[in-house]
Amino acid sequence: MPGSEGASSFAEKLDRLFRATGRPEPSYMSVAEAIRAGQGVAISHTYIWQLRTGRRDNPTVQHLTALATYFGVPAAYFVDDDTTRRVNGQLDLLHTLRDAGITEMALRAADVSPRGRAAINEAIRQIWESEHPRG
């Protein structure tokens, strides 16, 4: 998926996080309200829009950290290219899993005992082998 390399600007990185949340994207208003309510950080929806569109490009550490926390990424995502590449790789995997319809299975499997997960894994292995014969 394009974008797995380190994005060059704060706006590109923030845009990537908005697009990775799934469909539909959260509104600027809902992100601002969640940050204010959940983290006690004053931030406006207009400011978030300005950051995402590149009209503003130097957020405070408090706002950078609040946005990272909201999107569930380390704050270093916005400032360290290695972290950006690693997180983008994880976002690519999530996107692939979501497209393949696997996320629902994975979420359900998370509530299954270790023994049950082993049985699920074995069943998937057997199905895969039956659909991919060697030879």
In this prediction, residue 134 carries a pLDDT of 80
Looking at residue 135, what is its pLDDT? 64
pLDDT at 1: 43
Q: Residue 30 gets which letter from DSSP? A: H
Q: Domains of the chain by range and CATH?
A: 10-100 (1.10.260.40)
Q: What is the pLDDT of residue 20?
A: 87
High-pLDDT (> 70) share of the chain, %: 89
- The total of other beta-carbon atoms located within 10 Å of residue 101's CB is 8
pLDDT tens column, 25-77: 999 999 999 999 999 999 999 999 999 999 999 999 999 999 999 999 999 99
Res. 127 pLDDT band, cuts 50 70 90: confident
